[in-house]
Structure 1
Amino acid sequence: MPSGTRAPVARSAPRPRADALRNRERIVAAAREMFVEQGPEVPLDEIARRAVVGNATLYRHFPDRADLIHEVVLSVLSRTAERAEAAVLDIAEERGDPFGALRRFVHDAADERIGALCPMLSEGFDQNHADLLAGRERLEAAVEDLMGRARKAGRLRADVAVGDLMVALSQLTRPLPGSGGCVNFDQFVHRHLQLFLDGLEAPARSELPGAAATLDDLRRPR
């Protein structure tokens, strides 16, 4: 380089504006709610209306439906994993009993709209994307740890596994197909989750048919 010539300055990519970040967050939050309520095929313009943004804004952030589904699933995985890790930390710091921590996590996971993870099980969805695999492994490890601590303390029945918990969370936090006429489905979610949790607590009051569902069972092709 000739003497006196300045080296080119590397320029970082411009950071998104604060309003653009807020719009993106609103879109993801609205999609998370509507995927639970109506499934991943809900019209994108309805998601834009729920998020109070224009269609052009939605498509600027998410050019197609697959991009939006990916972002929603990643968001739910991350937020729910944080809840599970916080519950494990409570046990480790002796701020609560293990089953109580598991109970709180289940209700927290419902509030995080864990039912929005169902698109991960649909055909055509890229379940093996690196960031989704990392998010799923983080969530699974935290829930396994949480259930293991409750089981070791003698508070969780021995014949259930993390797959049983995740299936129940998915089924109990979404409206039934064709139940669009039901008013305020959310009012029943925590009530029914509490009934389910009572069935998980040891000592068991019955013998469950079949075997405990593992996460590998859920991923096995049907």
Structure 2
Amino acid sequence: MTQHPTTSSATRRRPANNGPKAAPRNRAALVAAAREIYAEQGMDAPLSAIARRAGVGQGVLYRHFPDRAAVAAAVLEENVREVEQAAGADAFSFTAVLGVLTWHLTESAAFIGLLHAGEATGRSGVRAYALILSQRVERALRKRLPEDHPLAAGGDLMLAIAMVSGAVSGPTRAERERRALAAWRLLGVAAEPVRPFGG
């Protein structure tokens, strides 16, 4: 008896390879997929899961991102760069920079994972790169941190951010923002307005 492929197996075929024309689209799909996978499984999620979610083979993923750290960089660089830009803007106070940071916390579970890089376990390449990005965030924030601020002492700044990021949960962005601002208030710190840099 001859077996014919079922409809479900036929529909699961990979999309046709469109060559170099597809490269920008594939890269964007991989970054979007990595954001989703990191949000669901954390930053140690298998790269094969990211490729599958993006609808490409692992070879395509490796053409764009030679290793795990490169994927993490692509996903998190924008978050970190906006915090750095806000901290470098003369018009932004420390409170405003914390508002930008808080916006990113409510938008990206992967960014939260980044800020816990010092405690992270798992693959060392991702952990090492996440630690570098986390240090960049801390340096940016300290540029605007007043010397007499309650978070100026020792490691209090990053500890407070870790505490707030731990409170960022909820099914909607509005709920996550509400919880983050409540956590800042409990710490006696203002962090507003919550918005992206330039938003």
**TM-score exceeds 0.5:** yes
Distance change >3 Å, CA 201–CA 97, structure 1 → 2: farther
CA RMSD after TM alignment: 3.8
What is residue 99 of structure 2 aligned with on the other side? Answer: 103
Distance change >3 Å, CA 42–CA 84, structure 1 → 2: closer
What is residue 115 of structure 1 aligned with on the other side? Answer: 112
What is residue 62 of structure 2 aligned with on the other side? Answer: 62
Q: Mean alpha-carbon deviation: is it higher for 107-116 or for 30-39?
A: 107-116
CA contact (8 A) 1:28 1:71 kept: no
CA contact (8 A) 2:106 2:168 kept: yes
Match of residue 34, structure 2, among 28, 31, 49:
31
CA contact (8 A) 1:115 1:174 kept: no
Distance change >3 Å, CA 97–CA 26, structure 1 → 2: same
Shift of residue 166, structure 1, vs aligned partner: 3.7
**In 2, Cα distance between equivalents of 1:76 and 1:199:** 30
Aligned counterparts, 1:65-144, within 5 A: 67-68=67-68, 70-90=69-89, 93=90, 95-112=91-108, 113-117=110-114, 121-126=120-125, 134-144=132-142
Counterpart of 1:47 in 2: which secondary structure?
Answer: helix
**In 2, Cα distance between equivalents of 1:39 and 1:199:** 27
Distance change >3 Å, CA 169–CA 19, structure 1 → 2: farther
**In 1, Cα distance between equivalents of 2:62 and 2:25:** 14
CA contact (8 A) 1:157 1:201 kept: no
Shift of residue 193, structure 1, vs aligned partner: 0.7
**In 1, Cα distance between equivalents of 2:141 and 2:152:** 15
**In 2, Cα distance between equivalents of 1:30 and 1:72:** 10
In structure 2, give the amino acid aligned to 1:19. A
Instruction: Give the unaligned 5+ runs of structure 2.
Output: 1-18, 191-199
What is residue 162 of structure 2 aligned with on the other side? Answer: 167
Counterpart of 2:124 in 1: which secondary structure?
Answer: coil
**In 2, Cα distance between equivalents of 1:66 and 1:171:** 31
TM-score, length basis structure 1: 0.56
In structure 1, give the amino acid aligned to 2:67. D
TM-score, length basis structure 2: 0.61
**In 2, Cα distance between equivalents of 1:47 and 1:102:** 31
Q: Which structure is richer in relative contact order (CA contacts within 8 A, separation 6 or more)? A: 2
Distance change >3 Å, CA 37–CA 168, structure 1 → 2: farther
In structure 1, give the amino acid aligned to 2:124. F
In structure 2, give the amino acid aligned to 1:163. M
Identity of aligned residues (%): 22
In structure 2, give the amino acid aligned to 1:37. E
CA contact (8 A) 1:87 1:101 kept: yes
Distance change >3 Å, CA 200–CA 164, structure 1 → 2: same
CA contact (8 A) 1:36 1:115 kept: no
CA contact (8 A) 2:103 2:177 kept: yes
